[in-house]
Structures are given as C-alpha cells and as structure tokens.
Structure 1
Amino acid sequence: MPESVKPARTPAASTQRLKMRRELAAAAMELFATKGYEATTVDEIAAAAGVARRTFFRHFRSKEEAIFPDHDDTLVRAQAVLEAAPPHEHPLDTVCRGIKEVMRMYASSPKGSVERYKLTREVPALREREIASVARYERLFTRYLLGHFDEAAHREDVSDYDEPLLAEVAASAVVTAHNHVLRRWLRGGAVGDVEAQLDHAFAIVRRTFGTGFGASRPAPAAEAAAETERRGEVLVTVARTDTPLPEIMHSIEEALRRR
C-alpha cells in the first residue's frame, strides 16, 4: 500500500470518524483563538469537545495535528482520483484533478479555512505541520507520474535517469500552483471563483511540465482528442466529448501561437 494512505473504512465508520475529528478541531481552534496556542492543552481540547483525553489521541497524535482534521481522508480521495483516471487522460491533468480534492476541502468551510490559515501563519508548529501535509501529496503525485512516462514523448536530451527528477518537479509544480492559488484566495477572505483561478494556474503548469508523460493505456485516436486548425481567420476545434477542458484549451492556445 502506498506510503501515508490508510486503508479504506466503511462509509459509516469514516463519517463518524471525520465528524469526531472535526469536532475536536473546532474545539481546538476556539481555544487557540481565546487562550492562545501555547497555553492550550490537549486535556482542555478534549474537555471542550466533550470527550476523554484518550479519545483525542485515537484521532490525533498532537494538538497541532488537530488543526488539520481532513487531510487523511482527502489524501485517500486524491489517490482514488489517480486510480480511476480514464486511460486517455494526460497524467498531469489527472494529478491536477487529484489536488483539487484539497481545494474542495478548504472551500467546503471558507470561514474556518480563513481562520486556520491565519493561525498557521502565526504559529511555527502549525506551519511545520502544514508543510508535512503538503509533502504527502507531493510524494503521492510523484509516484503516479513516475509510472506514466511515455518513451515516445521524451525529448532527446531526457534519459531514464532524469525521470525521477522530472516526476518530482512536475508533481511539485502542481502542488505549488495549487497552494499559490489557495493562499491568495484565503488572504482575500475566501471569495471569488477559486476553481477558475486554479484551472488557469494548472494550464500554465501543463504547458511547462507536460512533456514526456503518457496515459497508462493509449485510447484509440487519443492523439486526435483535441485538434485545432485555422480556416482563414477562424479557429476550428474538434474534440472528443470526454476530452478534459485543459487539453482543449492547450490545443487552442498552441494554434493561436502559430498564427
């Protein structure tokens, strides 16, 4: 089983577990805001949530971990996106869809996410915990991309020894683009169409780091999934109905550059 991804639970057990984790996180956030992070103890967090100290430690290893109650489940959902990717989809687009699970986690509770963002900026221990969470996604995406190199798509100056580097750099670029958009959105009070901003950032990453990766099982006519040609002053695009929007936009942008 991949590192850091825990076994799947039954839906009922997962729901109950996440509910308890969120209640503990809410109690921790309230205490941190009123008493301060350093002055708050695990016993106080447990008491505020109406549970015993041992219950707290069944869900979190430390009080700083309690600020991020959803990352374990979000990591599992991101992995599920990778595992269920359609065979023709560009692997980098799949990774972009996977990291969107993180954005949706934050967007599900905008106010709480803004408060948590402010707190992590003030408390170094929480910032370190956040960085550790980011590293887990990067490792997951790096492993996925490393398994999806397309030899025919490699540039001549890229060797097998470069594949781990390219996979890690591409995975890091996707996560960095996501985090850049996320932080900007949170600093602005969590308003605006964050998914549109994210898609724009991903299109930049795709153009820059998309070379060399291929789908796991090439679909028939996959290369013609999104073709664009100029007819006079009009651009005509032909695409499969299941072609990802970033793929279509990339094809259009390339055609416009060749004008």
Structure 2
Amino acid sequence: MVGVSGRARTRRLLSAAALSLFAENGYDSTTVDQIAAAAGVARRTFFRYFPTKEDAVFPDHDSTLVKVSLVLEAEGDGEEPITVVCRAIREVLRMYAAEAEVSVARYRLLRQVPALREREIAVVSRYERLFTKYLLAHPSASASPDSPDAPLMAEVSAAAVVAAHNHVLRRWLRGGGTGDAMAQLDHALRAVRDGLVDPRRRMSDRRVVVTVTQAGSGVDEVLDAVRHALN
C-alpha cells in the first residue's frame, strides 16, 4: 500500500507530467494515457488521484483549503478577524511558493487555456467563500453583528484579501517565481487591513502623552520631558 508521502509524490509526478505535456503538445491534444505513461504509472492509477486531466493542473488546493481552515480555527483571543484572515491567506501563497517552477508553468498554461482559467476562478472562489463565512461568524470589534451591512462588509473584506493575494501572486509568477513573494504579500495585506479596520478603532490604539513643564522652558527641555514620558 502506498503511504501518505508516496501518494503525495505520485500526485506531484502526475501533475508535473501533465504540465510538461500540455506545454509541449497542447492541452487539448494531450491524453490521460500519455500523462500516465510519462509519470510511469498505469492509466487507472491516474484516475485514483484525479477525476480528469484538468484536475491534474490543480493538485494541492484541497489540502491547502484544510490548512487555511485550521488557521482560522486557531484565532488568538482579541484578534481582529481581518487579521486572522490575512494570516490564513498566506497558506495559499506558501503552496505556490513551495514549487515555484511548477507554479510558473501552471500560470503560463492557464493563460493559454480558457477552460483552465475558468477552473482557477472556481477554485479561488472557495477561499473567498470560506473567508466570508468566517467574517460573518466573527464580526469586527468595532462593528455591530446586527448591522444590515454586516454581510456586505464580510463579503467585501474577504474579496479584498483574496484580491491582494492574487495581485501579488500574478506579479510574482510573471517574474518567473523569483523574489520574496511572502514579504510582498505581507505589504499588500497591511494596506488592505489598514483600509478595512474601522478608523475609530485605529485611533483608539494611539497613545496620548501629556507632559507639564515650567513656563519659559526651552524646546530642548520640552523634548526631554516628552521623551521621558514616552519611555
């Protein structure tokens, strides 16, 4: 019986063989038999892993969706829900970055085959739906869960996080999968998070420092008093 690591290895072999043949012969001209032969397995083995040759292009999203769900479930006490969602979407980029060469080949293929682009849209929508559901169940501390706009804001927030991820991912893939994609994603997510968190909540996180100095104090003395208060 093939172990878990063996199954994962076979999935990767089949996916890599499919992408290679699609690039060489074209998506429509490549058959399941050819993919199986290139991976060194029987035709029936292919169907143990993928229902169709189209599915071989997207081998890791099911397991990644589970990882994303686990991140959402492991939220910290008092964390802003959008922060948890931003942390969860990093698992998706981590999946692509783990095999940069394969991810780049997949991206180039998707640009050539409309049917595969449609499948990608459907896959991405699963993450968006998961985030929307989470945000509906975990409203922001600065928002009322009974607000009629709560469903709208949950959906908009989820879409914004996914859009930020996809923007960074496409740019990284167009660049050949080089560079620190995770750092770029973190930067994009900070911008999204800052735009979505209620401004009043952000203001409440700021400190107001009051110092008292004698009349006639010089600028240096005032600055020293402020520094002392801050420390």
Same-fold call, TM > 0.5? yes
Report if aligned partners of 1:25, 1:69 keep a CA contact under 8 Å in 2. yes
Residues 1:75 and 2:75 are matched in the alignment: no
In the alignment, the residues of structure 2 paired with residue 39 and residue 230 of structure 1 have an alpha-carbon distance, to the nearest angstrom, of 70
Alignment counterpart, residue 19 of structure 1, candidates 9, 18, 21: 9
Q: What is the CA–CA distance in structure 1 between the aligned matches of 2:130 and 2:12, rounded to whole Å?
A: 24
Which of 161, 168, 178 aligns to 1:174? It is 161
* SS class of match (1:154): coil
Task: Report the Cα distance in structure 1 between the residues aligned to 2:27 and 2:197, rounded to whole angstroms.
Answer: 42
Residue number in structure 1 paired with 2:22? 32
TM normalised by structure 2 equals 0.82
Distance 1:237 1:98 in 2: 34
Asked if 2 retains the 8 angstrom alpha-carbon contact of 1:27 and 1:48, the reply is yes
Question: Which residue does the alignment assign to 1:122?
Answer: 112
| Contact 1:227–1:237 (8 Å) recurs in 2 | no
Distance in 2 separating the partners of 1:64 and 1:237: 59
Q: Which runs of 5+ in 1 are unaligned?
A: 1-11, 215-222, 239-259
Q: Which residue of 2 aligns with 1:98?
A: 88
The Cα shift of 1:13 comes to: 5.2
Letter in 1 for 2:88: G
Q: Give the equivalent residue in structure 2 for 1:189.
A: 176
**How many aligned residue pairs are there?**
213
Pair 188,53 (structure 1): closer, same or farther in 2 beyond 3 Å: same
Q: Who is 1:207 aligned against?
A: 194
| C-alpha displacement of 1:125 | 1.3
Q: Using the alignment, how far apart are the partners of 2:93 and 2:230 within structure 1?
A: 30
Offset at residue 105 of structure 1 (A): 0.8
Q: Which amino acid aligns with 2:170?
A: R
* Contact kept in structure 2, 1:229 and 1:237, CA below 8 Å: no
Describe the SS at the equivalent of 1:40. coil
| Superposed CA offset, 1:157-192 (max 9, x none) | x96332111111100100000000110111112222
- Find the counterpart in structure 2 of residue 160 from structure 1: 147
Bigger share in helix: 2
Shift of 1:54: 2.4
Please list every run of 5 or more consecutive structure 2 residues that lacks an aligned counterpart in the other structure: 211-222
Q: What is aligned with 2:97?
A: 107
For residues 44 and 37 of structure 1, what CA distance do their matches in structure 2 show?
12
CA distance in 2, matches of 1:59, 1:149: 38
TM-score (norm 1): 0.74
Q: Deviations over 1:1-51 (max 9, x none)?
A: xxxxxxxxxxx9543332221111011011112111110011211222222
Deviation at 1:154, TM superposition (A): 2.2
The DSSP-based 3-state class of the residue aligned with 1:160 is: coil
Tell me the percent identity: 56
Q: Once superposed, what is the RMSD of the aligned Cα atoms?
A: 2.8
Comparing 170-179 with 158-167, greater Cα deviation is found at 158-167
Larger strand fraction of residues = 1
1:126-177 CA deviation, whole Å, 9 max, x = no partner?
A: 1111111100100111111111114x6227xx96332111111100100000
- Partner residue, 1:50: 40
Tell me the alpha carbon deviations over residues 91-117 of structure 1, each in whole angstroms, 9 at most, x when there is no partner: 111111111111111111112211111
1 CA distance for matches of 2:68 and 2:196? 20
